[in-house]
Structure 1
Amino acid sequence: MFILLSALVCTVACGGGGFAASTKASATPSGTIAGTATNFLQTFSAGIAHASGNYGFTNENYLIEGAERIQQLGSKSIFVYLTPTFRSTYPDRKSASWPATDPTNVADLVQAAPYAHVLGLPFQTIVLTAYTFATHDQVAGFASSGREQAEENEFYNLAIYLFHHYEGTGKTFVLKNWEGDWIGLQGSRDASRNISDSMINDMRAWLSARQRGVTRARQDAGNPTTVNVFNAVEVNRVLDFAQNGLARVINTVVPAVASDMVTYSSYDSTLQGTDPGSMQAAMTLALNTIKQFAPDPLGLGDKRILISEFGLYENERQKETIWRTQTLLSTAKSAGLSGAFMWNVFDNECHENNGQPAPIDTAQGDPMRPSDGECRGLWAIRPDGSTSSVVSVLQKYW
């Protein structure tokens, strides 16, 4: 699980009572699938994420190293970060691949050599947690900040570049925020709290600006049929609303924004239960809730929903890793979703002997490099170079 920029991860159920708690999605799509590359509607993407892992194996730029490792495993789908903190998320080590001067917007950043290399690899679905240089992750106060047009313009320029540069490739790009409910709760661990009315308004304004940028770019690009660029709102505490009626992004923000897609960081349901049946029940409740509240402006049907994160903590749940992965993927595919992405190719929740978090991308031979036993097990590739058994489950969906 990734901690974005200055955000704090809440590890317990958070929430409390009711701003627009019963706002539902329109039952009638307001768009069309005419401009959608058809391979997206016909496939289920089982992918792997890459961000801020605590170890690496080469002197290559870390973004490129992780992406190439995911490709070597056989996945046709990848999830990476596109944010102003690109240098710390993906260190250069000895390759000097990043530009000497920081870009000033995400459209320029996505054209930097490491991103151009990764997006040029034969991945068909590319999920990007994208944050602008105009706003970074400063969502609180956004509605009155005067930054809406700048946010919209950055997303427009990013999307129009992707539409034009990758036209004809059949690739699908999904642009999304980090886990929306943690943003809304502002790092709170108080399970009795709602997302506040002011944060709901800020998130609606922020996410709507991003959506306007992508919608305008799609129209100006002529609704291409050989590349997809979708904007998504990400939710991560769906069961807080479904089970307890708390104000969360799914019921207060998603219906108002009417984004192309909804992505779901799924730890709240996929770590529930003690067997496949009880886990599937929790997951199905969450997915049905998303379907209920998520508009469908492009007529994508259930493909408008994608599980952007699941993670199994192999070192802590050794007997659960395989059956939970099998249950998650089979449930997601049966529900008609567009895909599910495992966190992470290299574990980003390792620690040193003194208990402190391990640095990003420690080299082999570095005394600060974590051992397998010093990680939680959010990995496809372990620090010793071996491959997690969960990859064999993913491979059945490639």
Structure 2
Amino acid sequence: MKIFKSNPQVNDWDSLVNSYNYAIGTQTVGSKYKFSEKTMLVETAIEIKNMGSNLLKFSMHPRYCTENYGLPKNDNITSLTKLASLEPSVKEVLDMDFKFYHIWTYGFSQYTPEPLGEKDDTAQIKFIDGFPKEYQEALYKEIFEFTSYLLKTYNDTGKVFYLGNWEGDWHLRSDYDRDKPVNMKTLAGMTQWAKTRQQAIDDAKKATAHKNVQVYHYIEVNLVRKAINNPDAKVVANSIVNEVNPDYVSYSSYDATNPYKTENTLKKNLQHSLSFLESQLKPKAGLPEGKRVWIGEYGNPSAIYNDEEQNKRSIWTIKAALEWGTPFILYWEMYNNEIKSDTGEQVGYWLIDDKGKKQPIWYTHHEFYKESKSFVRNYAEKNNKLPSFDTFRKKALKFKSLNP
């Protein structure tokens, strides 16, 4: 398909090159430091953009003022749509020139505030021991409204929004005990929760006139190796994903990356896990061509690995995932979000550390983007069309940034 005019202007090329999916990226959630007067959310979004990325992953939920970003509380913000439209920092990053948005999305209609200073993840989900009808209806309405808002507000901008959840297996097992049998009422409740979110997005897309903007739903999973090693074990991957058949699946992939000591074993286990997840999905109309499973999180903390090991192991993950064909590979994260409770030490899930130092893995991302954009531009000028994602990823595996 031709995408350029017979005499394309440089600006046309710039727009197309800048909006291409370069697969690798990062996210900003709960950072423990910052360096400017801007809010945490805006500062880290700018840093992600400055690194060269056109993808932003962040969270939107009722804890916007107490968790992750510490934004000012506004009593008029009572829904996701109002959070997007009334909270200045949230609106600013949604309006920035990112192409892709991955958003952990939790409805205000599901939230019961925790006591001051306490955190209870079940406060923002209401499917423990079953999902009552009134919460289903409220969730559907809120997600429908939010999806409609995104489609209308960002109509004809080219933006793509992926609305999903954080590590779903810790919602299914909210006590974080991976060895306990699953609560079957909670399993049924979470399945209905995911179906409701998917249905609300689908219905809003049908009901809302829009062009050149898209919203999709994803489910994030994290205990995939448990399902592979024990087919009778009930986790989100083999008990909810295959029942809901979401648009996409995000894999918080630590159980397939961090245990392994060599590149070959990491690659073997990661690709096996990705293939297992893909096998849980059924064909679905209305989606772009390509794989529907991506890596929503991977990371190598500096509390365990030195800077060069952190970079090396990250490259292992990137190359294994690109080879498999996953559309996104998201590093955890721009600024570190974890501090050891006993020592106060930064755990070091970072691209930029708490002293403002860019890590080797930051430079890997930065150089990868430069090589990627150069390849895509040259390919487009020569062929008068953008390369397919398969063409891009196969070329990217040979980039100098991934083969230092």
TM-score by length of 2: 0.78
Post-superposition offset of 1:394: 2.0
Contact kept in structure 2, 1:78 and 1:123, CA below 8 Å: yes
Of the candidates 258, 261, 271, which is equivalent to residue 271 of structure 1? 258
After TM superposition, list the pairs within 5 Å mapping 1:1-398 onto structure 2.
43-88=21-66, 89-92=68-71, 98=72, 100-111=74-85, 112-135=87-110, 136-191=124-179, 193-222=180-209, 224-245=210-231, 246-297=233-284, 298-318=286-306, 320-351=309-340, 355=343, 374-398=345-369
Contact kept in structure 2, 1:132 and 1:154, CA below 8 Å: yes
Change in Cα spacing, 1:160 to 1:332, as seen in structure 2 (3 Å) is same
Post-superposition offset of 1:91: 2.0
Which structure has more relative contact order (CA 8 Å, sep 6+)? It is 1
Contact kept in structure 2, 1:50 and 1:344, CA below 8 Å: yes
Post-superposition offset of 1:195: 2.5
Post-superposition offset of 1:343: 1.1
Q: Give the whole-Å Cα distance in 1 for the aligned partners of 2:267 and 2:197.
A: 33
Post-superposition offset of 1:99: 6.1
Post-superposition offset of 1:314: 2.2
Q: Which runs of 5+ in 2 are unaligned?
A: 1-15, 111-123, 370-404
Q: Give the whole-Å Cα distance in 2 for the aligned partners of 1:299 and 1:127.
A: 16
Q: Give the whole-Å Cα distance in 2 for the aligned partners of 1:240 and 1:394.
A: 31
Letter in 2 for 1:159: T
- Indicate the RMSD between aligned Cα atoms, in angstroms: 2.2
Q: Which has the higher helix share?
A: 2
Contact kept in structure 2, 1:241 and 1:247, CA below 8 Å: yes
Post-superposition offset of 1:41: 11
Q: Give the whole-Å Cα distance in 2 for the aligned partners of 1:189 and 1:346.
A: 28
Q: Give the whole-Å Cα distance in 2 for the aligned partners of 1:383 and 1:302.
A: 38
SS in structure 2 of the partner of residue 262 of structure 1: strand
Structure 1 runs of 4+ aligned residues shifted over 3 Å read: 38-42, 298-303
Post-superposition offset of 1:189: 2.6
Letter in 2 for 1:251: N
SS in structure 2 of the partner of residue 309 of structure 1: strand
Q: Give the whole-Å Cα distance in 2 for the aligned partners of 1:116 and 1:296.
A: 35
Q: If you compute each CA radius of gyration, which structure gives the higher value, 1 or 2?
A: 2
Counterpart position of 2:117: none
Post-superposition offset of 1:58: 1.4
Post-superposition offset of 1:102: 4.4
SS in structure 1 of the partner of residue 37 of structure 2: coil
Post-superposition offset of 1:332: 1.7
SS in structure 1 of the partner of residue 33 of structure 2: coil
Q: Give the whole-Å Cα distance in 2 for the aligned partners of 1:190 and 1:253.
A: 16
SS in structure 1 of the partner of residue 162 of structure 2: strand
Contact kept in structure 2, 1:45 and 1:76, CA below 8 Å: no
Q: Which runs of 5+ in 1 are unaligned?
A: 1-37, 93-97, 357-373
State the aligned residue count: 336
Change in Cα spacing, 1:248 to 1:63, as seen in structure 2 (3 Å) is same
Q: Give the whole-Å Cα distance in 2 for the aligned partners of 1:158 and 1:310.
A: 28
SS in structure 1 of the partner of residue 109 of structure 2: coil
